[in-house]
């Protein structure tokens, strides 16, 4: 199972939940003019995951204590909130930008650089809505009317579109706090280990959902493609609804997701 972005875990949850429905609406093939190339990259990603990524992620899950893995996940999630806040601001969603900025401030200071997700705990015990949002530059482009372009399967990163691929590049190069590591530190001693740890952390969160995906459709590529495109359209239309309580539409049915 290839990984595309911090919010891909939610996409997989949607995929697994949608398997109980009658089926996922088929996306017009005009959205996938590069299907032959995409299927080849998809197969490569699946094989790489089977041989390398998934075994490493399972080893990480088995040998690293759960509290340590939670700290790692919270740390990277806190950095992602910086990206979310910036894109909320670019989309003129000032309340969402303030909520995400508040999350960063709380978790960075009182949460020991993001090791503890205090912001989510505060939301659960109060009426203050600082739930984690979901915004990226791909959604920002969509907010301003930029079309998705053709569907793309990126090596290692997984499902995307031309617009979202540009968004990933902008977020990682100009917005994400780790860009300082990418530009100011040595590749082998700092950049590669940090990037690898983030990748493994996100893949570890997907363990257990793979079997559902395998059983959801006879054509896994088509199933993932259709769900991804619907998911991205839903995020843009719903203005980056809070991740903690999202409504996703499949075949005119709504699924509420609560962590």
pLDDT of res. 213: 72
User: Can you tell me the mean pLDDT for 36-58?
Assistant: 96
39 within 8 A of 220, measured Cβ to Cβ: no
Q: What three-state secondary structure class fits 160?
A: strand
Q: What three-state secondary structure class fits 240?
A: coil
Tokens at 189, concatenated: 């001693």
Residue 183: pLDDT band (50, 70, 90) is confident
255 within 8 A of 17, measured Cβ to Cβ: yes
Summary mean pLDDT of the chain: 83
Residue 241: pLDDT band (50, 70, 90) is low
46 within 8 A of 157, measured Cβ to Cβ: no
Residue 29: pLDDT band (50, 70, 90) is low
pLDDT of res. 240: 55
153 within 8 A of 34, measured Cβ to Cβ: no
Instruction: Tell me, yes or no, if the pTM score tops 0.85.
Output: no
Q: Is the model's pLDDT at 59 over the cut of 60?
A: yes
Query: What Cα–Cα distance (Å) separates residue 19 from each residue in 157, 209, 216?
Result: 23, 12, 5
């Amino acid at each position: 199972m290839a990984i595309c972005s911090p919010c891909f875990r939610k996409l997989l949850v949607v995929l697994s939940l949608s398997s109980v429905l009658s089926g996922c609406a088929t996306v017009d093939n005009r959205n996938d003019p590069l299907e032959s190339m995409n299927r080849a990259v998809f197969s490569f990603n699946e094989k790489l995951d089977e041989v390398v990524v998934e075994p490493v992620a399972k080893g990480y899950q088995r040998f690293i204590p759960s509290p340590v893995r939670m700290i790692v996940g919270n740390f990277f999630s806190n950095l992602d909130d910086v990206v979310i806040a910036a894109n909320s601001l670019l989309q003129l969603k000032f309340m969402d930008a303030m909520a995400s900025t508040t999350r960063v401030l709380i978790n960075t200071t009182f949460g020991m650089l993001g090791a503890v997700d205090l912001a989510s705990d505060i939301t659960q015990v109060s009426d203050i809505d600082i739930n984690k949002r979901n915004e990226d530059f791909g959604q920002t482009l969509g907010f301003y009317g930029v079309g998705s372009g053709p569907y793309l399967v990126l090596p290692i990163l997984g499902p995307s579109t031309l617009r979202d691929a540009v968004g990933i590049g902008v977020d990682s190069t100009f917005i994400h706090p780790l860009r300082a590591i990418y530009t100011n530190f040595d590749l082998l001693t700092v950049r590669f280990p940090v990037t690898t740890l983030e990748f493994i952390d996100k893949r570890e969160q997907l363990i257990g959902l793979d079997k559902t995906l395998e059983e959801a459709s006879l054509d896994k590529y088509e199933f993932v493609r259709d769900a991804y495109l619907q998911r991205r359209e839903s995020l843009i239309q719903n203005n980056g609804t809070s991740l903690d309580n999202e409504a996703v539409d499949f075949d005119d049915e709504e699924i509420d997701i609560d962590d």
